[in-house]
Amino acid sequence: MAARVEHAVKVYGSGDTEVRALDGVSVGFQAGRFTAIMGPSGSGKSTLMHCAAGLDTLTSGSAHIGDSELSGLDDRRLTLLRRDRVGFVFQAFNLVPTLTVAENITLPLDLAGCTADREWVDTLIETVGLRDRLRHRPAQLSGGQQQRVAVARAFAGRPDVVFADEPTGNLDSRSGEEVLNLLGRAVRQMDRTVVMVTHDPVAAAHADEVVFLADGRLVDRMESPTAEAVLDRMKAFEVRS
């Protein structure tokens, strides 16, 4: 497993304002696979992703990246683990406006004081299709192109797993499709691992597997999803709740 949580509970607030965002979730994200996390609004998708990625801590239960149990790490080790073994793609592209495309892609490596693996970065640039834009700055690119830069940046350090939170949320459907195809290619052609939160059945259909959350619990899983099958499953949850 590239990442997993066991008996994950996350409680926000206390007393009257207590919210059980995760209510005993156990789920593993296999290496070399593209997994989508789906569920109605408020079902705990982002919370699960943030806790699995070490961006937030669980109230109880455990979260692992590879063999490392996150709650056992002090702040410094957790920061290093996030830096070296995890990549992130967010809805907002979060590129540095003053840096070029090339500089944005290698920024995590530069900050870590690592020398970029030139061949790997070159393959990434080829895969995201931005070779002729390397000297441009983010503001000179379309939203879809900016998100492709963010995807390349997420994979630059060859992390164990890339977590993507609604990566197509700010994109039109054509650019969104390009970014999803790119994530799929990273998994299938470059043997990477991706975990993506989405509420869009069309986006989820790009994954190898979909895990469904409802009310902070894991309620279902689906292999080789299609948009229609995912939509049907979502409708079934909404009727029930």
Ligand X SMILES: Nc1ncnc2c1ncn2[C@@H]1O[C@H](COP(=O)(O)OP(=O)(O)OP(=O)(O)O)[C@@H](O)[C@H]1O
Binding residues for ligand X, rule: CB under 6 A, are 12-13, 19, 21, 39, 41-47, 199
Residue with Cβ nearer ligand X (39 or 167): 39
Identity of the residue, 152 or 197, whose beta carbon is nearer to ligand X in the bound complex = 197
In the bound complex, what is the minimum distance in angstroms from residue 17's beta carbon to ligand X?
A: 8
Chain center to CA of 156: 15
**Least spacing, CB of residue 171 vs ligand X, in Å:** 17
CB of 168 to ligand X, least distance (A): 14
Annotate the chain with DSSP letters as a single string. --EEEEEEEEEES-GGG-EEEEEEEEEEE-TT-EEEEE-STTSSHHHHHHHHTTSS--SEEEEEETTEEGGGS-HHHHHHHHHHHEEEE-SS----TTS-HHHHHHHHHHHTTPPP-HHHHHHHHHHHT-GGGTTS-GGGS-HHHHHHHHHHHHHTT--SEEEEESTTTTS-HHHHHHHHHHHHHHHHHH---EEEE-S-HHHHTTSSEEEEEETTEEEEEEES--HHHHHHHHHHHHHH-
CB closer to ligand X, 137 vs 199: 199
Minimal distance in Å, beta carbon 50 to ligand X?
A: 8
Shortest Å distance, C-beta 186 to ligand X: 23
* Residue 28 CB, nearest approach to ligand X (Å): 19
Q: Which is nearer to ligand X, 43 or 146 (CB)?
A: 43
Evaluate whether 151 touches 108 at the Cβ level (below 8 Å).
no
Nearer to ligand X (CB atom), residue 43 or residue 147: 43
Give the residue with the Cβ less far from ligand X, 19 or 92: 19
